[in-house]
A and B are shown apart, each in its own frame.
Chain A
Amino acid sequence: ETGVTQTPRHLVMGMTNKKSLKCEQHLGHNAMYWYKQSAKKPLELMFVYSLEERVENNSVPSRFSPECPNSSHLFLHLHTLQPEDSALYLCASSQAGARGSPLHFGNGTRLTVT
């Protein structure tokens, strides 16, 4: 079993759909992250949760809504997305925040918005 698991691996959705991405970590970490990876661009940090509290929201549009019910689970709720939101969405976890410990990523969800 991998340390950080994301589902689904692939998702195609229309602009009016509502869907959710799920992330689960089995590493005992206390911080979780959502990153967006678009073609030809560096990874962009979207949200950070530390001890289940959102500690960073990196100017992400409200059509992306994160949820962290406990330290092992993280969701990203999607609503009325745009085609430019098509990207690879990566979940990661670490201990005590990324500043002081290694970051571990899931396999990602490749999202296509039609």
Chain B
Amino acid sequence: GIQVEQSPPDLILQEGANSTLRCNFSDSVNNLQWFHQNPWGQLINLFYIPSGTKQNGRLSATTVATERYSLLYISSSQTTDSGVYFCAVVFGNEKLTFGTGTRLTIIP
């Protein structure tokens, strides 16, 4: 079946540090999205990025579709960045499939 793997599963960083989260997928995608779920459970759409690079403030994302991975970069981490980061992909006409997430904890 479709495989979406995220790494690392857990990441603990000091405030101000930079981080890179990775999403690997097993087939060509026509839709890839990154989400942040805060400690209260709210899921926020960060990027819709099936290919290329996008930036939004301290966050940026790059998807290399031909090599089947996407990276989410967080610079100058803040405590409000804590939570779980999910990538989700669509293969062909299949439904959006979520990875198991990376739990990020930013320590003051």
Contact = CB atoms under 8 A, between A and B. Distances in A.
B37 to A, nearest CB: 8
Contacts of A90: 41, 43
Contact of A103 (B4, B45, B99): B45
* Interface residues on chain B, size class: 20 to 34
A32 interface: no
A107 B39 CA distance: 11
* Interface residues on chain A, size class: 20 to 34
Contact of B41 (A45, A58, A102, A110): A110
Contacts of A56: 95
Contact of B43 (A48, A58, A105): A105
Given A42-B99, A45-B96, A107-B42, A102 B48 contact: yes
Contact of A42 (B40, B44, B48, B100): B100
Nearest to A37: B41
A65 to B, nearest CB: 20
Interface of B: 4, 30-31, 33, 35, 40-45, 48, 86, 88, 90, 93, 95-101
Interface of A: 37, 41-43, 45, 48, 56, 58, 88, 90, 92, 98-105, 107-108, 110
